[in-house]
Every structure is written in structure tokens, then in C-alpha cells.
Structure 1
Amino acid sequence: MSLWLAVFLGLLGASSALYKQWVPDTNFNNQTNWDPERVPCADDRVVFAPHKKVAVFVQALHSILEMTLPLDGEILLAPDSGLVASAGRDPGCEGGQTVSFKDSDRWQWFDPPLWQAADSSEGLERGNFLFSVHEESVPCQTDDVVFRGDSSFRVDASSDRPLVPLRSLSVLGQRFLSDAELTRYLRSRLGQLQIHGDSAPQVSGAGCGDPTGCECGNSANHERICAAVRQRGPCPQLDCKKPLRPAGHCCDICGAIVMLQFSPDFRLDSYRQRLQHLFLAQPVYRAVRMAVSKVSRPRWLLGLIPRQGPPQIQVALLDPEPGSGPGAVAESLAHSIVEDALSQGWHLGITQAELQASSDSGSGSDGGVVAGAVIGVLLLLAALLLLGFLWRRGTIRMPSLPSWRKGDDIEDLGGPADIGFDNPMFDKPDGGPSADGLYGVDALNTVSFTQSGVHFSNPAYDETDFNA
């Protein structure tokens, strides 16, 4: 991809947003909505639970034997569709049973498998769906939410916050960009049948205003999202050496995670498109699932004190099916992405790339080690400067050193020093008693000159007459 194409994609990505489409429906023609799982026919009795609210979309002409309606509900008829009472004994119907509509309150807004994501409305129509971590599989605060125009639905939008922020919401072909208009619709009879719960969607009409990307904003509902994931079954068993947990995901994965630090020149949407066209288009990587998002991960000062770190770009990569292998293909792709980031980061707005691999063979970039060393040196210098400043102001004092002057020693010891005994072999110590003949003038008389040489008397040995 050329530099000019990357810049062009960056301009497009500055105003784009992801589209999240709701998957389930309450359509009459959907056999998964019935128990048993088949569309009612002419010999069947259709039963709706009396105390369950539901709106049902009918897309064709159906004959049924009889039908029990709920106390509160609506039937929406598409053109050339309807429900016709039958006399039974239809040779084309092998029914003759009671067919019940399943619980319409079983679907939750914050259930990741119930949504599909694409980078455009055309992508939704073509089925070009994107993979996301669990938090971002449900609508984010800058996403466009789409409920298909040819279907009915019912969803519980209960949240850990009073409102569910969105960019826009489309229902039955009508797109709401104003929160006042959406509020009026949700208060209508049909709106109450479609969206219910303790919280309500809120639209702003504005997408992400930061070209480097915006965080999803679903971290407050992380536990709610993961509870919905676990309700569907346990996380898959993994056979890789070092399972990884991407930020915003509820389960460990086998594969790799690339963390990117970026400058203000970075463009998230254009970079996502770059990875799709440059790498995922290759046959060897076509089946790899990739999730690109801006996240904030806590950093630990000295390994003990958590603090909020700057936002980073997370690229989570895993092989097609969870638990299908150690993620070797995803790791190979991660190494290619890191190499691309290090070689082309100057015009992509990437300042640093770090790789985590589930085979435990990945390692961070040298930039991370150098940055850590620089930070450590700066902290040490700052501590020394602070100590010097406090010492100059007198806040702290240096400990005094002991004095070694003779007078001070004598005073500190409480009296004159003990000089021990006299040693005539050495100079006369100061303050010691005088010894006549040893240190006086008489000492010169102890030297004599003879023909055999120079002789002197050794005061250490007295001439003693042992015969006396």
C-alpha cells in the first residue's frame, strides 16, 4: 500500500464508525422462535404466553387452525402477508400439534453473540463481519446500531448505567440521530414492546471525534458481558503454552497480542484497513481473526502501585476456532505486523510496538527496555535533586563527622591522654617526663671516636658491673 493511499484512508477513517446489527428476531417465519422448532402450518394450534409482551412480524400468508394471543402484543404484517383460519386436514401440513412461541424476554443487549459488526452498512449487507473482543462485540458509544427493517425484535437493554450511549439507532428502516426523537419512539406502544429494561439507548448523532480512535466505553458492563458469555458455556480449553487475555475479552486465547504506542498522527480506522488489505487478504492469514481497538491498560509502578497508563492500540489475533491449536498462524501474523510497525511507523504514527505470544516466544521491542532504563535514570536524578533542594533549604541536615584534633580528643575523653611508659628508643613524647642524659645535652657525650671507628653508647643497655 502506498503512502498516498494510507493518507487517503486516514481521511476517510476520521469520520467513520462501526455498525452493529442485532441478530435475533421475533418473526413468525423464523422456526427457531417456535417449540417445536418449525413454522406453524394449517393443522396447528398457535399459542403465545399470555403474560409475555411481544411484537411479531409476519412476512407471508399463513394458515393455522387456531391461535391464542398474549394480553399485550402486536402483529406486524408485511405486504401480501397475513394469518388465515384453516379448517384443518391440510395434506401439505404434517402438524396437528400445539406450537408455542418461545420466551421473548430471553435476549439481552449485552450478549456478544447476538450482534454482528461491520465497518459500513454495505459490509452488513454483504456479510463482511468483523471480529471483536467481547466488550466491543456489543454496541460501543460511537457505533451505529441497526435492527433489520424486515423483522421485529425484543431486547432487554438493562445496563450498569442508566443510559446506553450510541451514535445512532435504526428501527424498521427509520434512523434516529436525535435523542429526543428516539425517546418519543421508545415511549410508543411498539417501542416499549421492542426495547425494555432498566436502561435505555441514548443517541448523540456524533461519531468518534478523535482520529486516533475512541475507546468503546463498555468497561462498566464488563462483568455483565462476561456473565452472558459464561451463561452460554465455559471458555474453550486451550492447548497453547501461555494463554493470553486481551483487554476487554472474557476468555483466554491462543495466538498473539500486539500493543502499539502512537503519536497524534495515528489513524485507527485507516490502520485497521491497512491490516485487512495488507495481511488478512493473504491466503495464509485469511482465516485469522483480528480485533483492533484502543484500550487503556493499568501500569504498575515498581510492580506494586497501579496507575492509569496512556491509551494504546491493541491488535488481538487468534486462529479461526478457539481451542483448535496453539495459535501458530496468528503468531506469525503478529510478527509481520510488528515488523511493519517498526519499519513504517514513521508515517503511520506508531512510536513503539510490543508483542505477546501464547507460545512464550514473543518479546517486547527494544524501545520498551530503553524507555524503562531512561525512566529509571530520570527518577534517580529527580530524587537526588530533591534531596539537594531540601538540604539547601535546611529541611534536612547532613550528619556531622567526628573531629580528630588533639585538643578535642582530650576534652572528649574527659582528661589528659594516657601516654603509657617511656621508650628511650624513640623521640621524647610530648607531655612525657624528661629523662636526664637521654634527651639532654649529655646525650652528645655518649659518642666517641677511636682508631677502630665511631662508637656510641646505647641507652637501652646500661653498663652495669655485675661484680660489684
Structure 2
Amino acid sequence: MLRTADMLLLFCLVGSASALYKQWIPDTNYENKTNWDKGSVPCGNDIAQFPAQSSVSVYVETMHSVREMRLPVNGEFIFNSGAGFSVVDVEDPGCGEGVTAQFKGSAPLQWFNPALWQVAATLDDMQKERFLFSVHEESVPCWYDDVIFKARSSFRVDATSSQSSIDVKTVSVLGQTFSSRSEFERYLSSRSGRLQFHRNTPINVGKSGCGDPTGCDCGNSVNKDRICSTVTCSSLTCEQPLNPVGHCCGMCGAIVTIQYTNGFNLETYRQRILYQFLTQEQYQSVQLGMSKVSKPQRLLGFVVFSKAVIQVVIDDGGTSTQSEALALDIVKDARNQGANYGILGAELQTSSGGGGEGVDVMVIGIVFGALAFMAIVIVLVIVLVRKGVVRMPSLSSLPTPSIRFRKNHVVGSLDGPLDQGFDNPMFDTPTMMPAIPQLYGADNGISLTQTGVHFVNPAYDEHETDFTA
């Protein structure tokens, strides 16, 4: 049983984890040594050169001295308080012989590159670098996410999408948060906005956060090809690599698929897994991502429908040992405590080929799949009947069976003439039969008529009337 302090901590975590924050990593800051081709920031003996045709916004944090500076045709410096440049003629003894340093951070980087984003549950987690692991599609901002570009930073991003627009909840630039579309459009029209955002696709802010406690689909599957084109997949050594929904590469580890009810709360359960398992020492190196995804349900090899499930992806760097152990713990916890969290069942997949620790999920899936298949067939028949493609026979058109018993006569229909069938030369007329009285005599119970040869039933009286059964 949880102590009071532990319960308070859990509730605080749940309350603060109602949204995800995604922060852009690269920048065009002057002090970032990776933005210079020499791997260091220019000093007093160096020439700082920006490509003439580049269009770049550069953030300057502090004062710098250079021997010379060559600026681009189109660009800007954003100065922090007290920042600036000085050009000196005297040699700086601590700078070396002096070189020409080329600024290389002016090329726009792709918005839909998952490696360029960091994901956190809270702003505090973001500042403390407690980042979340996500599949590739969800590493990029979803429509309900808060997007952050660092306060003391500038950047250059290519926001080109396969959709008509990029939708997000808010965007923060240089410490200012934009939550309305009109305000952000004004910023994008400014000089800094045009240099920072290379746009072929509109960026719309002001979307509401995910209002579904069970979670929301990220919506980035439309851009999956664009996302995966930026990802380089590493070689795998596991027996059966897994393919999580929304991920560009196979992976070694484990996947837990959770079926849930309307009482399920994604953030509450996320914090339970974090507090219950990820704080344990043996799972310190494990990365875990949890989200709602649409997973196809199959019946007899055919995709019958897609069902929303909670996907828990667990990766421990390729060894699979810790990830599989954690996945087993999660499945056992779902079996024992799942009813308290709105969980119907959990299915386990591992890259080592193990599994079988499901909680009735496979049976549930097959039953739902069979019912869905039957429903589809019924709906299809109804549609075809209404369109006249298929005609259902009416009850009145169906024949009514009747039986008539007649002594020395064949069975016939009450409503029509007797069906004579086809002519058989063996049984045409009495004259065609051999004259053998003892064979066709009355004493033998055989009668020869115009309609053929009949066996007389002695149980019937000669004067018995017809009746219909």
C-alpha cells in the first residue's frame, strides 16, 4: 500500500502530465561550436564568415572579438542583453594564429525529422532533461502538442508537410508563447519569422489539447514517408525484430498491447508505470514509450477493422533482457490491477520470440473480429438488396408442398394437370407389353394403365376417397 507522501507525489505527476512538450534541438546560435566548420567559435585573431547567399537568423549570447566579419546579403543578429561584437587589430595571444571560420548552420533542417526533437511530459522535465522515448511518428509534434524553440536561441526549420497544414496546440519562440493563429501569423510575417521558418506549409496554432482521457492518435501517419526518409535504421541481432505502430525501423525489445475501457486514463497509467517500475534499479537503462495507436484487427488473414489500443514500446538498447522482463511485469500487473485502471487485457510480443503472457486479449480480438465480419456481411447483403443487385424471394412465391395419395394412380398436384414426364418406350401403352396374364393379372397386385405400371396397395379400399396430407 502506498504511503501518503507517495500518493501525493503520484497525484502531482498525473496533474502535471496532461500535455506533451516537444522542443526543437538544433539552433543557429553564434556560441554553438557545431555551427562552425572549424569546430570552435571564432576568437580575436579569426575571420568570422557567413555564406553570402545564406538567409539566417543568428542569436548572440555574449560579447565576442574578431579580426574580421563577413556578413550575408540577407540575415540578422538577435542580441541578448550585453551581447555584441568588437573588431580589434591587436593580436589575441590566447586565440592562436588565426583562421577563417565558416558558419555552416544556415541550411534549414526538416520539421519532420524525429531526431531533431526532444519530448517531455512537463516543462520542468524538459529543463531537467528528463525526456520521454517515443516512436518516430510521435517524436515529431502532434496536433495536440506544445512546441518549444529555446528562449535564448534562433533556428532555421523547413516546415514542409504532406498535409495542407501543420497543426499544433502552441508554439514558443524566443520566450514568447503563441496560442492563437492570428498572433503567430503576424510573427511569421516578421523578418525573424521569415528567416526562422522556411514554410511551404502553413503552421496553425490554437488547437485544443487532447480532450480524451484515454489518449489521442498523433495524426502524423500521413507524413510517415517523409519522417522515415530522415531515419537511418541500424542492424539488429535479435531473432524476431518487432515493428511498433508509428516506428520506421524494426527494433529489439518488447511491445505490450493494452485493451482498455472508457474508464482508462492514459496519463494516470503512464505515471503508474513510471512510478511502479521505471524507478527500479534494474530498469534504469530501459526506454519506454506509451501512446494510443490504431492497430489493424485480422480475421482469417484479412484486415477486418482497426481498433484503438494502447501501445507500450520497451527498448533496452538491443539486449532485450531487461525490456522483456519489464514487459512481463507490466502484463502481470495488468492481470492483477488492470480492472482498477480500466484495462481489459494485455498482449505481449518480444523480439526473442517469446510471449504467451496475454490476458485473454487474443480471444477477445478473435471474437470481436468474427462479430465484425458477420456484421459486414449482413450490411453488404442489405445494401445489395436495396440497390436491386440481389433479389430476395417473397414468402408467397415459395411453393407449398402437398401430398396426395391415390389408389392405382400416380401422385399429382391439386392445382394443375398431372405431369406426364417424358415418354418411355418401355412403358408406352398396354399393347406394347408382352401378353403374360399371370404376370399382370389382378391377383398379382399389379395394374397396367395408360399412365404406366403401378403396384396396387391392398391396404386401400377400392372406393376410398382422395385426401391431402
Residue 21 (structure 2) pairs with residue 28 (structure 1): no
Residues 61-460 of structure 1 correspond to what in structure 2 (within 5 A)? 61-204=63-206, 206-230=208-232, 235-304=233-302, 306-319=303-316, 321=317, 324-325=318-319, 327-363=320-356, 364-373=358-367, 376=370, 393-394=394-395, 407-408=410-411, 411-412=420-421, 414=423, 428-431=444-447
Q: CA deviation at 1:159?
A: 0.9
CA shift, 1:88, in A, is 4.7
* 330-339 or 374-383, which deviates more: 374-383
Instruction: Give the Cα separation in 2 of the matches to 1:287 and 1:375.
Output: 38
Gap runs ≥5 in structure 1: 434-468
Assess, with a 3 A threshold, how the Cα gap between structure 1 residues 55 and 95 changes in structure 2: closer, same or farther: farther
Q: How far is 1:310 from its partner?
A: 2.5
Could you tell me whether the CA contact under 8 Å between 2:51 and 2:103 is conserved in 1?
yes
| Aligned residue type for 1:366 | D
Between Structure 1 and Structure 2, whose CA radius of gyration is higher?
1
Once residues 13 and 68 of structure 2 are traced to their aligned partners in structure 1, the CA distance between those partners, rounded to angstroms, is 58
Q: Which residue of 2 aligns with 1:54?
A: 56
Residue by residue, what CA displacement relative to the aligned partner does 1:411-438 show, whole Å, maximum 9, x if unpaired? 44646869998789xx8242279xxxxx
TM-score, structure 2 normalization: 0.80
What do residues 159-196 of structure 1 show as CA deviations (whole Å, max 9, x unaligned)? 11232111111111111111111111111111111111
Distance in 2 between residues matched to 1:103 and 1:428, nearest whole Å? 116
Residue 241 of structure 1: how far off its partner (Å)? 1.3
Which whole-Å CA distance do the structure 2 matches of 1:342 and 1:127 have between them? Answer: 33
Kindly state the Cα deviation for residue 13 of structure 1 after the two structures are TM-superposed: 5.2
Deviation at 1:300, TM superposition (A): 3.5
Instruction: Describe the superposition over 1:32-67 as per-residue Cα deviations: whole angstroms up to 9, x where unpaired.
Output: 000111110111111101111111111122111111
Worse-matched range after superposition: 121-130 or 42-51: 42-51
Conservation of the 8 A alpha-carbon contact between 2:36 and 2:105 = no
The alpha-carbon distance between structure 1 residues 65 and 370, as it changes in their structure 2 partners (threshold 3 A), is closer
Between the two proteins, what is the percent identity of the paired residues?
Answer: 42
Identify if the C-alpha distance between structure 1 residues 256 and 423 changes in structure 2 by more than 3 Å, giving closer, same or farther.
farther
**Do the aligned residues in 1 keep the contact of 2:210 with 2:216 (CA within 8 Å)?**
yes
Residue 132 of structure 1: how far off its partner (Å):
0.3
Check conservation: 2:345, 2:360, Cα contact below 8 A.
no
> Which structure is higher in RCO with an 8 Å CA cutoff and minimum separation 6?
1
> Structure 1: how far apart are the matches of 2:394 and 2:370?
26
- After TM superposition, the score normalised by the length of structure 1 is 0.80
Residues 122-168 of structure 1: per-residue CA shift (max 9 Å, x gap): 00111100000000111111111111111111111111123211111
- Secondary structure (helix, strand or coil) at the match of 1:219 reads helix
Q: Secondary structure at the residue paired with 1:35?
A: coil
Deviation for aligned residue 1:407:
1.4
Q: Number of aligned residue pairs: give it.
A: 422
Q: State the alpha-carbon separation in 2 of the partners of residues 87 and 147 from structure 1.
A: 37
